[in-house]
Amino acid sequence: MLRLEVVALYAGVNILLLLVLAYLVIRARQTHKIVLGDGGHDATTRAIRAHANAAEYIPAALVGLLIVSLFNNLPAWILHAAGISLTAGRILHALGLHAGKLNLGRVVGVSLTLLSYLIIGAALLYAGATQQLGG
Give the pLDDT means over successive 10-residue stretches in the chain (135 positions).
91 98 94 83 90 97 97 92 98 92 91 98 94 73
Contacts 24+ apart (CB under 8 A), 34-43: 42/100
Continuous segment of H or E residues that includes residue 73 = none
The answer to whether 62 and 7 have CB atoms below 8 angstroms apart is yes
Instruction: Give the 3-state secondary structure of residue 2.
Output: coil
Structural domain that includes position 29: 3-132
d(CA 45, CA 48): 5
Asked if residue 19 lies in contact with residue 27, where contact means CB atoms within 8 angstroms, the answer is no
- Find all residues with CB under 8 Å of 43, minimum gap 6, and list them: 28
pTM of full prediction above 0.85? yes
> Domain of 10: which CATH number?
1.20.120.550
What is the structure's pLDDT at 8? 97
How many domains does the chain contain in total? 1
pLDDT score recorded for residue 133: 78
